[in-house]
Amino acid sequence: MRQLFVMAFRDLGRNRRRSFFSMLALGLGLALLLLMASVIAGEMGGAMESSIKLQSGHLQVRASSYDPNKTSLAWTDLVENPQAVAAQIASLPPVKVATPRLFASGIVTARDQSLGVGITGIDPASDANAPFKAGLLSGTFLTADDQNGILIGKPLADKLALKEGDSVSLLANTSNGGVDQQPFVIRGVYTTHTPGYDQSTVFMPLAKAQAITQTQNHASVIFVLLKDNAQTGPVAAALGSSPYQIKTYLQLNALLATTEQMSNAYMYILYLIVLGITATVIVNTLIMSVFERTREIGILAAIGMRSNRIMMMFFAESGFLAVGGILMGLALGGLLVAYAVNVGFYIGNLGYTGILLGERIYGIINANDVITLTILAFIVTLLAALYPALLAARMEPVEALHGGKLS
Identify the H or E element spanning 255.
helix 254-292
Q: Environment class of residue 257 by beta-carbon count within 10 Å: exposed (0-12), middle (13-18) or buried (19+)?
A: middle
Q: Is 172 helix (H, G, I), strand (E, B) or coil?
A: strand
**Neighbour count for residue 335 (Cβ, 10 Å):** 12
Closest of 197, 222, 204, 234 to residue 94, by C-alpha: 234
Where do the domains of the chain lie? Answer: 2-52+256-401, 64-243
Q: What is the pTM of this model?
A: 0.78
253-257, 264-268, 322-326 — which one is most confidently predicted on average?
Answer: 322-326
Model pLDDT, residue 217: 93
Name the least confident of 5-14, 162-171, 331-340: 5-14
The pLDDT confidence band at residue 5, using thresholds 50, 70 and 90, is low
The CA distance from 1 to 4, in Å, is 5
pLDDT digit string, tens, across residues 337-389: 999 999 988 887 665 556 777 788 899 888 888 998 999 899 988 888 888 87
- Cβ(137)–Cβ(189) under 8 Å? yes
pLDDT digit string, tens, across residues 85-143: 999 999 999 999 999 999 999 999 998 899 999 999 999 999 999 999 999 999 999 99
Name the least confident of 49-63, 120-134, 215-229, 259-273: 259-273
Mean pLDDT of the chain: 87
The pLDDT confidence band at residue 406, using thresholds 50, 70 and 90, is very low
Closest of 182, 118, 174 to residue 149, by C-alpha: 182
* More reliable by pLDDT, 308 or 50: 50
The CA distance from 119 to 145, in Å, is 17
